[in-house]
Structure formats: C-alpha cells, structure tokens
C-alpha cells in the first residue's frame, strides 16, 4: 500500500468523474458478497503496480445549510486529517474562483503535499490561454486533465506519487500485538467501551500517534497479550469533524478495518442491526479480517429466559453472510463480559492467522469427496486432485481440479463447511481459489 490520496474541490468541477476515472476498472469488479453496498467515495486504486486508497471528499456532504465554502472547509479538513497527498481539483471553464483560492490557502497551511488539477481541459495538445492563471494559486505547476476523456490522468498520478512521503510513519507494535478496530454506528457505545477498557486495565502502555493528525491508537496490555485499538482519537474524545455525518463515520471505519486483525462490530441492543452495520461488516468480511459481533448495552434490555436466544436468532439472519462471526452480549457501562470479548478477540485473530498442513487438508479432501460425490455435467465429473493453504489472514486455500466450470458454488460451499467443521476457523472468513491442473 502506498498511502491515501484525497480529492478536494468545489461542486461540479468534476471530482467524482475524476474519482471514477482513477479508480477505473476496479469499480466494476462487483463483489457478490451479500451485504456489501459499495460507497462511491472510497476505493482502492492502482497506478503502475502501486496500490493506494482514494477518497472523494465531495461525496461527504456535511449537513450544513451553509454556503459552499463552509462545506468545503470541512471536506478539506477531512482530507488534511486522512490523506498523505491531496488533489485539489479546479475547473478550466470557470477559471480560478475565490473559493478555490481560499481552499488552496487552507490546504497549503496544513503542510500536506498538494497536487493541483485543472480539470475539463478536453482538447489534447493545446492549453487554453487562461490555464496559466492557475499558477496564481501558489500550489506549483497545475496539471491539465480531462476526467471525461482520461487525458492527463497519468501525469496527475505521476505528480501524486512523486509528492507521496517516502515512508509512512505508521507506528510499529510488538509483532504479536493484536490490532483491533471497534466499529459501529454513532452512539453504539464505542467510546464507552474503549474508555472502560483503558480505565480498567492497570497496564496501559500508551497512546501512539499515527500517520495522520487525528489518528491515535490505544495500546493495552492484558496479561501477556498486547492489544492495539486502532484510531481511537475520534472515539475517545469525539472528533471535531462531525461523527454524525454517516459517510464520514463509514469512511473512518473502512480505514480502521484495513489496519486491523480483528473487527469488533458493535451493535446497540436497543436499536438492532442497521444498514450502516451491514456496510462496515461487509467490508471487514471482504477485507478478510476476523470479526466479533458485540451486542452492547445488554444491561439496559429487559430480559426473560429466552431474550438472548431470540436476539441471536435474529442476528444470525442479519449476519448470515458472515455466519462464522461469534456473538457476545456485553455492557460497556458495567463491564459485563469484557473478559469474554477479549477472549474472542484473541481467539479469532489466531484463527485468522491459522495454518493447516497440506497432508491434513488432503485427508479432508479425500474424506469430503468420498462422502458427497463431486458434481458432474454432460457425463464429465469434477475431480478434485489436491488442496493446499496458500496464505493466512484470511486462511486461503487453493484447490486443483480437472475442470473449473464444474466446481459450482454449492460444492465449494460444501468443501468450505467441511473445512470449518474439521478445523474451526471461528470468527474468520476464508477463501478458496480454484485452479485447473497445469494452471
Ligand atoms: P463534482 O461535483 O466535483 O463531483 O463534479 P462531477 O464529477 O459530478 O462533474 C460535474 C459535471 O462536470 C458533470 O456534468 C461532468 O460530466 C462534467 N465533467 C467532469 N469532468 C469533465 C471533463 O473532464 N470535461 C468536461 N467537459 N466535463 C467534465
Ligand atoms: P459512541 O458514539 O459509539 O462512541 O457511543 P458512546 O460510548 O458515546 O455511547 C453513547 C451513549 O450510550 C452514552 O450515553 C453512553 O453512556 C451509552 N452507553 C454506552 N454503552 C452503554 C452500555 O453498555 N449500557 C448502557 N445502558 N448505556 C451505554
């Protein structure tokens, strides 16, 4: 990963067009994971083999009745907080406006590297006369781009990468530290949980500032184990940029998930599962992270003997796309079952990093194919020759077969279930890659 790039600019200059252009094909690779609704404001992108994260701050519309400028200030602040390099997009057809100048000034004061994009330069080769006006923004050489046609985007990305800081100052932790992202809707109880943990544990190591200004991790020692709670600044003391802006909190969750080993998905027991929960949980799943689902505020629920069972039943449906994730009913307020929560965090992170020997896997394959015969089509039967584990985090298995087309999803699901039945892998997604022999 080569850092994070944020796009900033006035409405209608072409930010989202540029975003889609830079993200390119990746957007159209539709993941069929149920529960994943893609946000058009955040994506991985790639340039010359280097992968980076791209954010379109224009997609985050703070709920101010205010004029454009104050909106843009919030978006620019977000870019300053979250990005390694900022692309300021302007528009050749409107020239330099006072809002452009104002935002350029604000960005420049942050000290972050800025690349100036002059969009809608649609005709190749000739630069419009008023192009040179953009030097007046004091951000160095403007780059002429046509987001609609794609011209100039290569130059733009070259400039972005030459401005990218050499090494990110991502803090380092002990190798065996478990990195945890606590995610969930505003008011689910994330800050109460982190503060409870930080207050209760005797051996708090420290808060460590990360790459971006407002990202702080909380490091906690528990017995022999070290846990790093990621990006807790905004959680512990409510961040300035409004947490209530849904897209912003989703974005923030995405970035924390990427750095984590385990995601604690926090659900408010009084509210139940929501659309936003399905987005972030879907992202954790897609990124191959272990997950624990914590149902918080359990103290405030009136219970009879069946309440927990009923909750579990309902949540099993909501989270059916990640049925491997365990539930735990907690209270951040009283500390109820925090021991259990830590136990699950540790256990699921171990499962996420699990390695299973090739011999054991092939015994399983032999057993599974003997028990339920592989499917066949037009007289040709699927043969599974060999299985091996290619990588961990998440556990990824490669299966070699005679004909991929015959290896239907349902039979893959069957094999996956046999793997889970034999080896557990609780709390972690797993991947199966199918190869034809000789491939
Ligand atoms: P945003 O509000 O900054 O995200 O702007 P959009 O990406 O929604 O674009 C605003 C309008 O400008 C749309 O009608 C786009 O089709 C148009 N536009 C974007 N990029 C270009 C470009 O490179 N050339 C031209 N001619 N129009 C563009
Ligand atoms: P955040 O926005 O996710 O960080 O949520 P907060 O930690 O700020 O909690 C939101 C509200 O829920 C606060 O009023 C908390 O006191 C309350 N709250 C948090 N955890 C619990 C809990 O376990 N039980 C009860 N009854 N209230 C809680």
Domains of the chain (ranges, CATH numbers): 4-163 (3.40.50.300), 178-352 (3.40.50.300), 358-436 (3.30.300.20)
pLDDT at 254 over 50: yes
Cα–Cα distance between 149 and 313 in angstroms, integer?
Answer: 51
Check if the beta carbon of residue 171 is closer than 8 Å to that of residue 207: no
Confidence class for position 37, pLDDT limits 50, 70, 90: very low
Q: What are phi and psi of 229, to 5 degrees?
A: -90, 120
What's the pLDDT at 175? Answer: 81
Question: Residue 182's Cα: distance from chain center in Å?
Answer: 12
Residues pairing with 388 in the sheet: 398
What's the pLDDT at 255? Answer: 84
Check if the beta carbon of residue 293 is closer than 8 Å to that of residue 267: yes
Total-model pTM: 0.79
pLDDT at 351 over 50: yes
Helix 15-23, helix 153-163: angle, nearest 10: 80
Of ligand 1's listed atoms, the one at least distance from the Cα of 59 is 4
Q: How far apart are the first and last CA of the chain?
A: 28
Q: What are phi and psi of 121, to 5 degrees?
A: -85, 85
Confidence class for position 330, pLDDT limits 50, 70, 90: very high
The predicted model gives 175-185 an average pLDDT of: 91
Structure tokens that stand for 252 in this block? 């923030």
What's the pLDDT at 79? Answer: 84
Could you tell me if the CB of 188 is within 6 A of ligand 2? yes
CA of 182 to the centre of ligand 2 (A): 13
pLDDT at 151 over 60: yes
Of 32-46, 188-202, 262-276, which range is least confident?
32-46
User: Tokens 């224009």 correspond to what residue?
Assistant: 58
Q: How far, CA to CA in Å, does 92 sit from each of 98, 115, 218, 401, 423? A: 14, 16, 45, 56, 60
Model confidence pLDDT, tens digit, residues 77-98: 888 888 999 999 999 999 999 9
pLDDT at 66 over 50: yes
Number of CB atoms found within 10 A of residue 258's CB: 17
3-class state of residue 88 by DSSP: strand
The one-character DSSP state at 370 is H
Among residues 195, 186, 183, the alpha carbon closest in space to that of 236 is found at: 195
User: Tokens 């990305």 correspond to what residue?
Assistant: 157
Question: Residue 392's Cα: distance from chain center in Å?
Answer: 18
pLDDT at 20 over 90: no
- Pocket, ligand 1, Cβ cutoff 6 A: 9, 11-17, 58, 119-120, 122, 146-148
Which of 6-15, 169-178, 186-195 is modeled with the greatest confidence? 6-15
Strands 50-56 and 4-9: parallel
What's the pLDDT at 211? Answer: 44
Model confidence pLDDT, tens digit, residues 220-250: 888 889 999 987 755 555 554 455 566 777 7
Closest ligand to the CA of 329? 2
Could you tell me if the CB of 331 is within 6 A of ligand 2? yes
CA of 192 to the centre of ligand 2 (A): 6
3-class state of residue 240 by DSSP: coil
Of ligand 2's listed atoms, the one at least distance from the Cα of 334 is 23
Of ligand 2's listed atoms, the one at least distance from the Cα of 184 is 3
CA of 11 to the centre of ligand 1 (A): 9
What's the pLDDT at 208? Answer: 53
The predicted model gives 299-326 an average pLDDT of: 94
Q: What percentage of the chain has pLDDT greater than the value 70?
A: 85
Could you tell me if the CB of 253 is within 6 A of ligand 2? no
Model confidence pLDDT, tens digit, residues 91-133: 999 999 998 999 999 999 988 999 999 999 998 777 888 899 9
Among residues 217, 213, 226, 173, the alpha carbon closest in space to that of 194 is found at: 217
Confidence class for position 1, pLDDT limits 50, 70, 90: low
Gyration radius (Cα) of the chain, Å: 24
3-class state of residue 150 by DSSP: coil
Residues pairing with 267 in the sheet: 295
Check if the beta carbon of residue 298 is closer than 8 Å to that of residue 330: yes
């Amino acid at each position: 990963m080569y850092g994070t790039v944020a796009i900033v600019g006035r409405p209608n200059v072409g930010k989202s067009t540029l975003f889609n252009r830079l993200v390119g094909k990746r957007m159209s690779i539709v993941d069929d994971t149920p529960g994943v609704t893609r946000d058009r404001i955040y994506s991985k992108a790639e340039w010359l083999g280097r992968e980076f994260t791209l954010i379109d701050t224009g997609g985050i519309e703070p709920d101010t009745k205010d004029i454009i400028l104050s909106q843009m200030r919030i978006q620019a602040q977000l870019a300053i907080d979250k990005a390694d390099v900022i692309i300021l997009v302007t528009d050749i057809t409107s020239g330099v406006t006072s809002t452009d100048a104002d935002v350029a000034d604000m960005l420049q004061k942050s000290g972050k590297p800025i690349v100036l994009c002059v969009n809608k330069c649609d005709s190749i080769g000739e630069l419009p006369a008023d192009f040179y006006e953009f030097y007046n923004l004091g951000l160095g050489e403007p780059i002429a781009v046509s987001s609609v046609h794609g011209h100039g985007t290569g130059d733009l990305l070259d400039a972005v990468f030459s401005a990218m800081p050499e090494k990110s100052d991502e803090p380092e932790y002990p190798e065996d530290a478990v990195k945890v992202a606590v995610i969930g809707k505003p008011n689910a109880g994330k800050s109460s949980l982190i503060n409870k943990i930080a207050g209760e544990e005797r051996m708090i190591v420290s808060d460590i500032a990360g790459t971006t200004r407002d990202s702080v991790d909380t490091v906690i020692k528990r017995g022999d184990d070290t846990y790093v709670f990621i990006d807790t600044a905004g959680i512990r003391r409510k961040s300035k940029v409004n947490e209530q802006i849904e897209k912003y909190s989703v974005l923030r969750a995405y970035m924390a998930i990427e750095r984590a080993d385990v995601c604690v998905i926090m659900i408010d027991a009084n509210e139940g599962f929501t659309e936003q929960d399905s987005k972030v949980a879907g992202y954790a799943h897609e990124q191959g992270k272990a997950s624990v689902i914590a149902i918080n505020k359990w103290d405030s629920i009136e219970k009879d003997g069946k309440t927990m069972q009923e909750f579990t039943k309902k949540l099993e449906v909501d989270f059916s796309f990640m049925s491997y994730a365990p539930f735990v009913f907690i209270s951040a307020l009283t500390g109820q079952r925090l021991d259990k929560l830590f136990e699950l965090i540790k256990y699921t992170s171990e499962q996420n990093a699990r390695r299973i020997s090739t011999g054991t896997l092939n015994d399983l394959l032999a057993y599974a194919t003997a028990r339920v015969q592989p499917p066949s089509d037009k007289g040709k039967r699927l043969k599974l020759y060999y299985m091996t584990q290619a990588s961990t985090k998440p556990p990824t298995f490669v299966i070699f077969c005679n004909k991929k087309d015959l290896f239907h999803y349902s039979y893959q699901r069957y094999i996956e279930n046999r793997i889970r039945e034999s080896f557990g892998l609780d709390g972690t997604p797993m991947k199966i890659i199918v190869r034809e022999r000789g491939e």
